[in-house]
Amino acid sequence: MKRIAALLAFGAAAPLAVAAQHDDHQTAAQRAESLRLAGRPWHAAETLLAAAARELHLEPAFVLAGAKAELRARRYDRARGLLAGQPWLGEYADGAGLAVLAEAEARLGRASEAAGHYAAARAHAPGARGALLAVRAALAWEAGGEKDSAAAAYGAARTAGLAVIDSWLRVRQARVTRDTAVAFRLLADLPPPAAREVPAARAQALLVAGDSAAALEAFAQAGRALEVARLALARGDSGRARDALYGLMARAPETDDAAAAVGVALASLPPRTPPERVALARAMKPHGAAPDARMEVERAVRQGDSSAATLVLLGELLAGAGRSRDAERAYRAVAKDAALGPLAIYRRARILVRLGDPGAREALSGFAQSYPADTAAPTALYVLGDMLADRGDWVGAAQWFAELVARYPADLRASLARFRLAAQATQEGLLDSAAALYQAEVAAAAPQRTAARFWLGKLALSRGDTADAEAAWVALAHEDSIGYYGLRARREVALPPLRLAAPPPPPPPPAVAAWLGRLDTLELAGLDSAAETEVRMMLGRSPQQDVDALLAWSEGLAVRGFGPAAVRLGWQAALKAPADPRVLRAIFPWPNRQAVEAEAAEFGVDPLLFVAIVRQESVFDAEALSPAGARGLAQLTPGTAALTARGLDVTFYPDWITVPDLNLHLGAAHLDELLRRFGGRVDAAVAAYNAGVAPVRRWLARAGTADPDEFVELIPYQETRGYVRAVLRNREVYRALYAATSN
């Protein structure tokens, strides 16, 4: 998405709000431009589409505005359909329409057409814009296999004056140059980080020159297994290609190259042996293809692979698919394995809990007794106590919780057990027992000692000792000023709302400004992978920089869509200046504020709550992908997005899920639906955003959960409990940083 935004930024020779032949078009164009500037490209496209449907004869300015909006909204076929064949295209707006058409064609895989239209647009574009279009034309020629045309276009771009990214252009030009002597000269003495690409570029140059044998060895030396596989396959060496592909998937299953290797393998070298099927499954699983991964592992097992590692993987995939009985059998088959047996026994016990099987109690207690040093032993004891508590057997639950605390006093699960026991003691009116448990948490410096201090204040208040309660909460609010419990304590006492006034950032230092300019130029040229490499290199060097430079980098990256990198720099700045409020704005940025606020307003949800969720879900990375397949800023699964869109009568295709404002639109609607479902209870709605509706309904059925504090404390899923606390904390920090200017 950053690449499209960049293209439209340098291609916007004619503003959207132009004088039109029809007032309706002018109003729609102005509205669309306003929406675009507010970070809402999907809404802009919808606005122009609706206006176009009311008029058969559209003037060029309006057509171009609509095509740009469709491009930003990733509706590439619509953008191309608006522009292809227009008689005015070649002469209008200094080639802006040709550039938009070319980008749409490039996105649709029509590389040769895109290259031609980029080249035509370049002929009409002055100065630096023409040089940038030359790079884009070169990329399209390269994608279409026209190496000579690509080399000429890269050379023309360098001649036209893009010195700030010349090292990257040299790498690209060398990759498509047939004369290896020329290519190797281009690659000589390159500065980092472009220098890291030299080995692969040399291999690519050898391939273009026709020396595929040398290229194959060069790719192997460069560690490019995917390229080795592709080239070996082209040379007819299927054995080497197979080894490279499946070795890559087994070695680094979570990488992008492994994801690409899956496609190559399925198309040309499908798995034959059980190890190949398992390697393929391991690469499929983290890239949103768990059902396909499960089928491959099942086939491997049918082919005779009964190894412990394969059966554990199968159990995990079966459990994720809801096939709990089958998962239980897979784990049971591994129980006697020396290395993986303990893991399998523990996971089987958890499956039995999920099934409500009476054997769960013995399985959990047996695991904890047989493997007391295993890192899962405390969790087994906690799950055992939690299971009995859910069944109303508090005597049995207390026995296992007490054993957990005695065996592992500093473990997080022991902290949770203390809190469960304290909550039950409070419900039974045993306030002294509850207080003793909380005090033990504090005395042990255990993980939830801050929470224990908050609850000691609540106990004091329940006894009528308001002075002690207030003293405890005031101290906590000062000592944990931006933590969940410190902020929660602040609301209980007569302290003013937290306000964190951060002065406007100064202009970035010259070195940072120059680096950000290079980043912009790379994105304008379509060299997104080079831009990402630059960001990674900068992150590696950033700890040595001063606070002002770190904050300048952080702000610059946040507004450019590199949210996770921006926040990481904020945390690095916090190590140097923890009391600087500018640091908090870097850790809690709001780069797409107008869009978040607009979508929240449309569905009547609190924008501070919504941004708190977006911050926790994606850290403002529009392309974020979770292991569960959730996508985009608001981290929606394709199923949830499609269901929400259907309820809103919104046209939706899976490819659109990461369009920022459409993702936010559906995310805000989903949050609104959860708030309605749970009667406006923010804590329950946030928990359901993370864990789903069914578990939250089950948790709310427990005694005492009418108290939001108790509900949050007793959420049994560690991830969800931490998520709810983090989101509620985020909301208060955003309120402190931004509420003075919030709509």
Q: Is 342 exposed, middle or buried (0-12, 13-18, 19+ CB in 10 A)?
A: buried
> Smallest Cα–Cα separation from 495: which of 511, 514, 479?
479
Report how far Cα 567 is from the mean position of its chain's Cα atoms. 13
Alpha carbons 266 and 352: distance in angstroms, whole number: 36
- How far is the C-alpha of 12 from the C-alpha of 121, rounded, in Å? 13
- Which residues 6+ apart lie within 8 Å of 445 measured at CB? 410
User: Could you give the CA distance from residue 698 to residue 502 in angstroms, rounded to a whole number?
Assistant: 42
For residues 612 and 467, give the distance between their C-alpha atoms in angstroms, rounded to a whole number: 33
The catalytic residue among 617, 710, 713, 732 is: 617
Token pair 């122009």 in the structure block, residue: 48
Give me Rg for the CA atoms of the chain: 29
Could you give the residue ranges of the DSSP H alpha helices within 560-707?
A: 563-576, 581-587, 593-603, 607-618, 638-648, 660-677, 682-691, 693-700
Angle 225-227-230 from CA coordinates, rounded to 5°: 110
Structure tokens at 227: 């390229």
Q: How many CA atoms lie within 13 A of 622 on its CB side?
A: 26
Look at residue 631 and give its three-state secondary structure. strand
Residue type at position 605: V
Residues facing 631 on adjacent strands: 625, 636
Q: Is 599 a catalytic residue?
A: no
Half-sphere exposure of 65 (CA within 13 A, CB side): 32
Cα dihedral across residues 672, 677, 678, 680: positive or negative: positive
Q: List active site positions.
A: 617
